[in-house]
Amino acid sequence: MRITEDCIGCGVCVPYCTIGAITLEGGVAVSDQDKCVECAVCTRCVVCPVDAMIQLEVAELPYPRNLRRYFSDPIAISPVTLAGGRGTEEGKTNDRTGRFKFGEVGFGVEMGRPGISTSFADAQTVAQAVSKVGAVFEAKNPIFPLLSDPATGTFKPEILGERVLSLIIEFTVSIEKTPDVIAALRSVEDNIDTVFSLCAITRVNPDKTIPVVPWLERAGVAIRPNAKINVGLGRPLIP
């Protein structure tokens, strides 16, 4: 987002910036282009009295800055998922798709949310850490085409300086590697300038127990009783 010289410094746009990139300086509003993640919240929510706010369309933003819009604006359509949002359908449809098998656990590391933002450099730090313990990254996730080496979690160098409102690193490991994943994340949590949350996805056992829970407890992770389950999806595609 850009603010033109027509700005009169009314300040109405300032509280709407999700990450505080808009400030009043010298009597006018200024947008910090390094911090701005092109989420378009300000231009959707604010009616500037002098039309001084300019939000470029995704096609008008040069690469790699256009990545900010894809990952920050839920209305922008990702060229990878062909939908809005930062990740895939996660585990909500797993009973139909069978994406995660018995004996596996899928992890989603959501970085930058809420309202903090994150950089691809920080995402690379996390991805490289979990790759060392056998993480297999989800190919349908929007970050996958940005990996120059999926085997090591290395991103394309030209995008490392870009910031986004949030992103989700999705990967799968065998369930016995759960403690290794937790240890890897703990080893880098002080080396990244953002926040992250962790989601674990598994098939439920026939006796209704959740197989990943003991592994997480063994790793010292406090379990929150949150779940995302979609019902009425029809017959399973994969047993």
Mean pLDDT of 70-93: 75
Query: Are residues 136 and 171 in contact, defined by beta-carbon separation less than 8 angstroms?
Result: yes
Which residues have a Cβ under 8 Å from the Cβ of 146 and sit 6 or more positions away? 67, 120, 155, 156, 159
Going by pLDDT thresholds of 50, 70 and 90, the confidence category of residue 99 is confident
CATH number of 94-218: 3.30.70.260
Whether 239 shows a pLDDT value over 70: the answer reads no
Most confident of 22-31, 51-60, 197-206: 22-31
- How is the chain split into domains, by residue range? 2-55, 94-218
Classify 44 in phi/psi space as left (phi over 0), alpha (psi -120 to 50) or beta: alpha
Mean pLDDT of 138-148: 93
Q: In this predicted structure, what is the pLDDT of residue 234?
A: 53
Element housing 68 (H / E): helix 66-72
Which of the residue ranges 30-34, 174-178, 193-197, 222-226 would you say has the lowest mean pLDDT? 222-226
CATH number of 2-55: 3.30.70.20
Better-predicted residue by pLDDT, 175 or 92: 175
Going by pLDDT thresholds of 50, 70 and 90, the confidence category of residue 96 is low
Q: In this predicted structure, what is the pLDDT of residue 86?
A: 72
Tell me what the pLDDT averaged over the chain comes to. 89
Q: In this predicted structure, what is the pLDDT of residue 237?
A: 55
- How far apart CA 29 and CA 24 sit, in angstroms, is 4
Q: In this predicted structure, what is the pLDDT of residue 159?
A: 96
Which of the residue ranges 23-37, 87-101, 213-227 would you say has the lowest mean pLDDT? 87-101
Mean pLDDT of 35-49: 93
Q: In this predicted structure, what is the pLDDT of residue 28?
A: 96
| C-beta pairs of 182-187 under 8 Å, 24+ apart in sequence | 182/216, 182/219, 182/220, 182/221, 183/133, 183/219, 184/129, 184/130, 184/132, 184/133, 185/109, 185/126, 185/129, 185/130, 187/129
The percent of residues above 70 in pLDDT, for the chain, comes to 88
Q: In this predicted structure, what is the pLDDT of residue 161?
A: 95
Q: In this predicted structure, what is the pLDDT of residue 31?
A: 95
